[in-house]
């Protein structure tokens, strides 16, 4: 897979509104699923019977599974983190699951993705140094447990790579300490976590900067949960290789399209009788279908199923194409020009000279 690249998210083992055969046509080369949600439903054993996560997704390309650290944060379970794991409410059946590093590791062995993420602690307050320091300490301790289990299976020779996750909030010393501790464990790749938890663009970029420059250049550097055009291009400028986010499909389901002119919200009244296709010149399935903007707006108003699907397809295509344009711009030495263009459309107050 050429990088920089974007991974669409199939959290529960299925894309929303995107057929498996369409993923490659849109430009996808690697897909993400979530180990904790698949553990919760349909369960690891059933996924194994269905051919592992590849069989469930009907996708023979690379798959990465997240371990559930962000889900612990999003499900409000950070207060139940203990030395050996976290008590998190079962999202399907109620009660609690003791989600430990060992269970996260074993679950991902059963799901059989190509890349498995370690279980980390994603702090809910990236500006709180004390909370971030505690999260780093536990993240590194758990990473060592999971790395030992991975090595016992034969490491990457087992057919599954394992990535460590850098935490530390916005604090340079914590980020660097966490990164260097993970490097000592010699992971197959490295991720940067805890930068997309509502802390704003500036704090996010500080977290990326404090982490990426420490990580080895001969290993993949993965920024978790980031997917707006401005965030992508600014993070690539700071050395990131791969990304994942629900943003393009979620934005599509809520009537927002991504274009080089910025976001287009299709419920806006100005599109009511617009006969143009969504993004003239785009060759995605939405734009080549001939469905005009006015019809997309009317469909969203009527709560039809097709418009959210068409915009999701367009947004995925747009991001994959943007990553392709970044690769070309890096090779040709014109990345700075592309960066300025995207920032003017999506983050005009943050243009970097």
Phi then psi dihedrals of residue 256, to 5 deg:
-110, 125
Q: Do 66 and 161 lie in a common domain?
A: yes
Q: Which domain holds residue 260?
A: 251-350
pLDDT digits (tens, 9 = 90+) for 49-61: 999 999 999 999 9
Compute the average pLDDT of residues 73-101: 86
Compute the average pLDDT of residues 4-25: 96
Spell out the residues 6+ positions from residue 17 whose beta carbon is closer than 8 angstroms to its own: 249, 252, 253, 305, 308, 309, 312, 313
The sign one gets for the Cα dihedral 203, 205, 211, 214 is negative
Q: Please say which residue of 228, 245, 262 terminates a domain.
A: 245
Number of domains in the chain: 2
Give the pLDDT score at 338.
98
Spell out the residues 6+ positions from residue 287 whose beta carbon is closer than 8 angstroms to its own: 277, 278, 279, 280, 281, 314
Q: Do 43 and 79 lie in a common domain?
A: yes
Name the nearest CA neighbour of 253 among 180, 315, 298, 183: 315
The residues that are catalytic are 66, 244
d(CA 187, CA 144) in angstroms, rounded, equals 10
Q: How confident is the model at residue 72 (pLDDT cuts 50, 70, 90)?
A: confident
What predicted TM-score, i.e. pTM, was given to this entire model?
Answer: 0.95
d(CA 318, CA 282) in angstroms, rounded, equals 8
Q: Do 172 and 288 lie in a common domain?
A: no
Give the pLDDT score at 19.
96
Give the pLDDT score at 198.
63
Residue 1 scores a pLDDT above 70: yes
Q: Do 177 and 315 lie in a common domain?
A: no
d(CA 92, CA 33) in angstroms, rounded, equals 17
Give the pLDDT score at 240.
98
Q: What angle do CA 241, 236, 247 make, to 5 degrees?
A: 85
Give the pLDDT score at 70.
81
Residue 90 scores a pLDDT above 80: yes
Q: With pLDDT > 70 as the criterion, what percentage of the chain qualifies?
A: 97
Compute the average pLDDT of residues 260-267: 98
For residue 96, the domain's CATH number is 3.20.20.105
CA 338 to chain centre: 22
Q: Do 188 and 286 lie in a common domain?
A: no
Give the pLDDT score at 352.
52
Compute the average pLDDT of residues 40-55: 98
Q: Do 346 and 231 lie in a common domain?
A: no
Give the pLDDT score at 209.
93
Whether a cis peptide bond, with omega within 30° of 0, leads into 145 is no
Spell out the residues 6+ positions from residue 312 whose beta carbon is closer than 8 angstroms to its own: 16, 17, 18, 248, 249, 252, 253
Give the pLDDT score at 68.
85
d(CA 212, CA 214) in angstroms, rounded, equals 5
Rounded CA Rg of the chain? 20
Q: Do 328 and 203 lie in a common domain?
A: no
Beta strands in the chain (DSSP E): 5-7, 31-34, 63-66, 81-82, 85-89, 96-99, 115-117, 161-166, 189-192, 220-223, 242-244, 256-259, 262-265
Q: Which long-range CB contacts under 8 A does 136-143 form with residues at least 24 apart?
A: 136/167, 136/168, 136/174, 136/177, 136/178, 138/81, 138/83, 139/165, 139/167, 139/178, 140/178, 140/181, 140/182, 142/101, 142/118, 143/101, 143/118, 143/181, 143/182, 143/185, 143/187
CA 72 to chain centre: 16
Range name among 29-38, 89-98, 176-185, 302-311 with the lowest pLDDT average: 89-98
Compute the average pLDDT of residues 157-170: 96
Give the pLDDT score at 353.
47
Q: Please say which residue of 193, 216, 245 terminates a domain.
A: 245
Tell me the C-alpha to C-alpha distance, in Å, between residue 103 and each of 97, 278, 288. Answer: 10, 45, 46
Q: Do 255 and 241 lie in a common domain?
A: no
Give the pLDDT score at 202.
87
Helix H segments across 100-236?
101-111, 129-152, 172-184, 201-212, 229-236
Half-sphere exposure of 123 (CA within 13 A, CB side): 25
Q: Do 72 and 216 lie in a common domain?
A: yes
Q: Do 290 and 182 lie in a common domain?
A: no
Range name among 46-55, 276-285, 343-352 with the lowest pLDDT average: 343-352
Q: Please say which residue of 219, 245, 271 terminates a domain.
A: 245
CA 301 to chain centre: 29
Q: Do 215 and 298 lie in a common domain?
A: no
Residue with tokens 């996808």: 28
Q: With pLDDT > 90 as the criterion, what percentage of the chain qualifies?
A: 86
The SS3 call for residue 339 is: helix
Spell out the residues 6+ positions from residue 18 whose beta carbon is closer than 8 angstroms to its own: 8, 26, 249, 309, 312, 313, 316
Residue 249 scores a pLDDT above 90: yes
Q: Do 104 and 210 lie in a common domain?
A: yes
């Amino acid at each position: 897979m050429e990088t920089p690249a974007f991974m669409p998210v199939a959290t529960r083992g299925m894309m929303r509104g995107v057929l498996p055969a369409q993923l490659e046509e849109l430009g996808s080369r690697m897909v993400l699923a979530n180990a904790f949600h698949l553990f919760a439903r349909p369960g690891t054993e059933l996924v194994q019977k269905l051919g592992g996560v590849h069989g469930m997704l009907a996708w023979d390309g690379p798959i990465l599974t997240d371990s559930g650290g962000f889900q612990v944060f999003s499900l409000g379970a950070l207060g139940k983190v203990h030395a050996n794991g976290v008590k998190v409410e079962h999202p399907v059946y109620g009660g609690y699951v003791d989600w430990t590093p060992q269970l996260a590791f074993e679950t991902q062995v059963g799901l059989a993705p190509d890349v498995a993420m370690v279980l980390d602690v994603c702090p809910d307050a990236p500006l709180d140094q004390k909370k971030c320091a505690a999260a780093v300490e536990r993240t590194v301790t758990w990473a060592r447990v999971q790395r030992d289990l991975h090595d016992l299976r034969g490491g990457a020779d087992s057919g599954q790579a394992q990535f460590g996750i850098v935490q530390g909030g916005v604090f340079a010393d914590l980020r660097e300490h966490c990164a260097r501790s993970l490097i000592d464990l010699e992971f197959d790749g490295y991720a940067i976590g805890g930068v997309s938890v509502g802390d704003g663009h500036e704090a996010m970029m500080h977290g990326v900067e404090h982490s990426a420059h420490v990580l080895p250049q001969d290993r993949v550097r993965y920024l978790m949960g980031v997917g707006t055009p401005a965030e992508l291009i600014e993070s690539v400028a700071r050395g990131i290789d791969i990304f994942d986010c629900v943003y393009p499909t979620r934005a599509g389901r809520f009537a927002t399209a991504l274009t080089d002119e910025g976001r287009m919200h299709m419920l806006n009244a100005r599109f009511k009788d617009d006969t143009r296709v969504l993004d003239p010149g785009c060759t995605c399935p939405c734009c080549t279908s001939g469905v005009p903007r006015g019809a997309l707006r009317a469909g969203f108003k009527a709560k039809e199923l097709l418009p959210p699907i068409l915009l999701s397809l367009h947004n995925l295509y747009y991001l994959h194409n943007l990553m392709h344009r970044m690769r070309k711009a890096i090779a040709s030495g014109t990345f700075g020009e592309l960066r300025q263009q995207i920032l003017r459309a999506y983050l005009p107050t943050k243009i970097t000279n």
